[in-house]
Chain A
């Protein structure tokens, strides 16, 4: 299963008309990858190119138009690539296979169903709580600082963050942020509370420190008591009533 982190990217260069057991090689490769459960693969046709035979393949010359380069690419885990490479080595009789180290930065799947939930569970853990104080008017590269911080934390896979808006306060800047009776002040105090494992909070603290111009970050040790409530697992009896 492909996850965020180090992975391998494999690129295979073949010709469009190279055959493999009476079908085109790139189609055979794609089918093979799909059969092996590779997360995803793309074949693209190049504009022009040349390879080992030193014949320029270009659509301009009609004889060679059927002979264009095809590039098949896919990204998979290191183990999966190790498993696939011997077969690919065998299949590609005419062409090139290239493997490079890569980092999977985001893997998103809209249609993914939520993982089956566990029955009610209680987890106790040592964790850290970080509170970040700033003003609502503070900006980071043109966007509100609190928005930017939450986005950053989200990218760092931090479990959760909550933004609070205060009604009155003062701090690093020395001026009072105050909510007015009739209209909301554009610069109320903002506090973001974040709870996660200690090492993740320390990493997040370093990242957030870089983003803030004036403000305060405090961290403390907390005990997490996480209650996971969820729908009971569907039982066999349940399923049969649905069927009837």
Chain B
């Protein structure tokens, strides 16, 4: 069984509305992660929430401005490499980082 190794988890909280160079910020962040060869990234959409501007993010019939969380798990060096790039992309929002123990499981052959 693979032994757990120390790693970092990075969570970015922002809004679905936020854009970066014409595309949704969460898509831009995931593309940036791929570009920097970060092991993986997952985007979640919350049901409801509020942030520093204290305005409610919730789903309306016409507007769709829900809270977004992007979580990224990788080694401390890779996360440190990603952090300035992401910081530059986000206008407002929150970045949280914590220590984790990681087990990476890869039994099937990766696709070319």
Contact = CB atoms under 8 A, between A and B. Distances in A.
Contact of B102 (A169, A191, A216, A221): A216
Contacts, number: 96
B13 to A, nearest CB: 14
Interface in A208-236: 209-210, 212-221
B31 to A, nearest CB: 10
Contacts of A164: 44
Most interface-central of A170, A212, A213 (chain B CB within 10 A): A170
Contacts of A215: 105
Nearest to A222: B98
A161 B39 CA distance: 24
A219 B98 CA distance: 11
A171 B42 contact: yes
Most chain A C-beta atoms within 10 Å of own C-beta, residue among B4, B43, B44, B105: B105
A174 interface: yes
Contacts of B27: 168
A133 interface: yes
Contacts of B102: 216-218
Nearest to A165: B44
B30 A209 contact: no
B110 interface: yes
A132 to B, nearest CB: 9
Contacts of B63: none
A205 interface: yes
Interface residues of B, number: 32
Given A164-B44, A166-B42, A216-B40, A172 B30 contact: no
B90 interface: no
B84 interface: no
A186 to B, nearest CB: 17
B7 interface: yes
Main secondary structure of the interface of A (DSSP, over half): strand
Contacts of A205: 4, 103
Contacts of B73: 131, 133, 216, 218
Nearest to B7: A218
Contacts of A210: 1
A169 B101 contact: no
Contacts of A172: 40, 104-106, 110
A210 B1 CA distance: 8
A204 to B, nearest CB: 12
B103 to A, nearest CB: 4
22 contacts: A131-B100, A133-B42, A133-B73, A166-B44, A168-B30, A169-B40, A169-B41, A169-B42, A172-B104, A173-B111, A189-B43, A213-B105, A214-B107, A216-B40, A216-B73, A217-B102, A217-B105, A218-B73, A218-B103, A219-B4, A220-B9, A220-B101
Given A170-B41, A191-B71, A217-B103, 18 more contacts: A165-B44, A166-B44, A167-B45, A168-B43, A169-B41, A169-B43, A170-B30, A170-B34, A173-B110, A174-B111, A205-B4, A206-B1, A214-B106, A214-B108, A215-B105, A216-B104, A219-B4, A220-B98
Of all A-B residue pairs in the complex, the 5 with the closest CB atoms, nearest first, are A171-B40, A169-B42, A168-B43, A218-B100, A220-B100
